[in-house]
Amino acid sequence: MSEIIIKNGFVFDPLQGIRGDKVDIAIKDGKIVETTALTNPKTIDAAGMTVMAGGVDIHSHVVGPKVNTGRLFRPEEKLFQNIKKTGSRMEMGTSIPSVYKTGYDYARMGYSYVNEAAMPPLHSPHVHEEIRDTPIIDISAMPVFGNNWFSLEYLKNNEIENNAAYTAWLLRATRGFGIKIVNPGGSEAWGWGLNCANIHEPVPYFDVTPAQIITGSIETNEYLGLPHSIHIHPNNLGNPGNYVDTLETLKLAEGYTAKNAFGRTQVMHLTHLQFHAYGGEGFNFESKVPEIMDYVNSHDNITVDIGQVTLDETTTMTADGPFEHHLRAVNNLKWANVDVELETAAGVVPFVYSANNKANAVQWAIGLEIGLLAKDPMRTYITTDHPNAGPFTRYPRVIKWLMSQAAREAQMDAFKHRDKVIDVTNIAGIDRELTLYEIAQMTRAGTAKALGIADMYGGLAPGMDADVAIYNLNAESMPSDAEEIEKAFSRCAYMLKDGIVAVKDGEIVAEPAKRTIWVDVKVPENAQVNRDIYEHFLKHYSLKLENYSLFEEHLHNPRVIEVNAAE
């Protein structure tokens, strides 16, 4: 079968501790192998280039109903679209690309794995249809649990075993990956047009607090020993002063340690931290990143991702229904909302982030501060909460800002309210420039470890998937012009997926098969949970239990991760 050897490149593989050494990467039958295992390989000469494992995105909204609502209701962003077709299908959309553009653009940036951040369980067949049509990249999808009536009822009484049995059932029913929590309790409250103001305010009618939901979910997750930890979008997103809620949320993880067989060490992943690190009030909000990152840096059982604002016109979409309703009153733009029975509530609103807007510029600074104040890049990851803070296609720009103080200063100089922004943030005083090794930690090694998939993705050790990105960057003489960094990460020289060259010189040359990754957990039989499921479907869902679970034929090219929590 096919053999490839990648020679002479500067290899960055934090999972093996390889820091830019010239190491040959050998590939056989879609896997990384020892070089001695090759007989007659084709050679890719990576001289003067940087070699990393395929990127692993821990949090992005790429498939499913709210992403698709965003696509559908923004014809204006495609009006003058004119991209030459190079893959097998046309590429449409900018902030919310079509499935084809999504797959191609991730591949062009050297990414091979994306974790879809929010799957409404009721819509799982839709999510899997889109996964089927998204080319090249492997995708997992996290069902949302934090407002699910089953979980609310179990966690009110701290019934961890029941919640675990239900969680295992739902992961299987939706072919989902892990426990996502969005605005715990708040999205259920939105069913009545309300919200939970903080983590101690009980959910209307359910008499459980967001704090209880969060700790109960951690316990559930560790009881089951899932590959990933709970993945939380905490309460009060976007509100000045919310760093207090964020710190309180993080502190809920104290005393918990990860129990799993997948090498994961955190018990809580807190996502798009940028939106949750605000001090002050009203329009006078300010960065509280130092306070939060001090906490994160000193607590090993927590991971975070940034959610960097990229200063673009984009489309916000979250399973935080009340937040999107709030946002539509801020900018008066079109607003889509979908409350999903018994489970969640999502909203979609276009948003224009502008360098001329002080608040947006402060958000920009806050995001970068998170990356730059991170002591452990294995626990702090690059995201834009695509497409909420900006499209994922801006990762190369975010990398540029993190790697170059000059690039940051150039951006700050372009701010209309430069001095005011500097006053309420810490960005101007930070001279740290991240290294390629740190970037590899923040974009693949760290994310793969946190997702519990570091035995397959995010590294280049023998036995792992042969997903490799080769960037046109000479690690020994990095370009003085930071724009070159952005360019190199935007369009990689090569991207290999399962040992097949999918991208060459930044363009799609092949579309190797992609996979759906899901987690199958064995739990002890639980008669009560079975009865609860039966009852809720009989009385409260609008469709039949038998039609809710994904039919096998709607799951495409699966890769199942098995977990045994029955013993």
- Chain residues in the site for other proteins (CB under 8 A): 63, 65, 67-69, 71-76, 78-79, 81-85, 89-90, 92-93, 96, 98-100, 122-126, 129-130, 133, 149, 190-193, 205, 325, 328, 332-342, 345, 348-349, 539-544, 546-547, 550-551, 553-554
State the SS3 of 249-301: HHHCCCCCCCCCCCCCCCCEEECCHHHHCEEEECCEEEECHHHHHHHHHCCCC
E strands, 24-165, are 25-28, 31-33, 42-45, 50-53, 55-60, 111-119, 138-143
Of 466, 543, 533, nearest in space to 32 by CA:
466
400: three-class secondary structure by DSSP: helix
For residues 81 and 284, which CB has a smaller minimum distance to other proteins in the complex? 81
Smallest distance from other proteins to CB 219, Å: 26
Binding partner at 117 among Zn ion, other proteins, none, C-beta below 5 to 8 Å by kind = Zn ion
Give the footprint of Zn ion on residues 106-135 (CB under 5 A): 117
Binding partner at 122 among Zn ion, other proteins, none, C-beta below 5 to 8 Å by kind = other proteins
Binding partner at 205 among other proteins, Zn ion, none, C-beta below 5 to 8 Å by kind = other proteins
Smallest distance from other proteins to CB 132, Å: 8
- For 4, which DSSP code? E
Q: Give the separation between CA 282 and CA 303, rounded to whole angstroms.
A: 29
Smallest distance from other proteins to CB 123, Å: 6
Smallest distance from other proteins to CB 129, Å: 6
DSSP H or E segment with residue 325? helix 321-331
For residues 431 and 544, which CB has a smaller minimum distance to other proteins in the complex? 544
Of 220, 246, 239, nearest in space to 282 by CA:
239
Give the footprint of Zn ion on residues 347-386 (CB under 5 A): 385
Binding partner at 543 among Zn ion, other proteins, none, C-beta below 5 to 8 Å by kind = other proteins
Smallest distance from Zn ion to CB 61, Å: 6
E strands, 126-169, are 138-143
For residues 182 and 436, which CB has a smaller minimum distance to Zn ion in the complex? 182
Binding partner at 340 among other proteins, Zn ion, none, C-beta below 5 to 8 Å by kind = other proteins
Q: Give the separation between CA 498 and CA 70, rounded to whole angstroms.
A: 31
Q: Are 274 and 307 in contact (CB under 8 A)?
A: yes
Binding partner at 414 among other proteins, Zn ion, none, C-beta below 5 to 8 Å by kind = none
For residues 64 and 279, which CB has a smaller minimum distance to other proteins in the complex? 64
For residues 63 and 306, which CB has a smaller minimum distance to other proteins in the complex? 63
What is the token pair recorded at 168? 């295992």
For residues 124 and 318, which CB has a smaller minimum distance to Zn ion in the complex? 318
For residues 117 and 492, which CB has a smaller minimum distance to Zn ion in the complex? 117
Of 148, 112, 132, 146, nearest in space to 64 by CA:
132
Site for Zn ion contains 343 (CB under 5 A)? no
Task: Give residues with Cβ within 8 angstroms of 490, minimum separation 6.
Answer: 108, 109, 393, 396, 506
Binding partner at 339 among Zn ion, other proteins, none, C-beta below 5 to 8 Å by kind = other proteins
**Site for Zn ion, rule CB under 5 A:** 117, 385
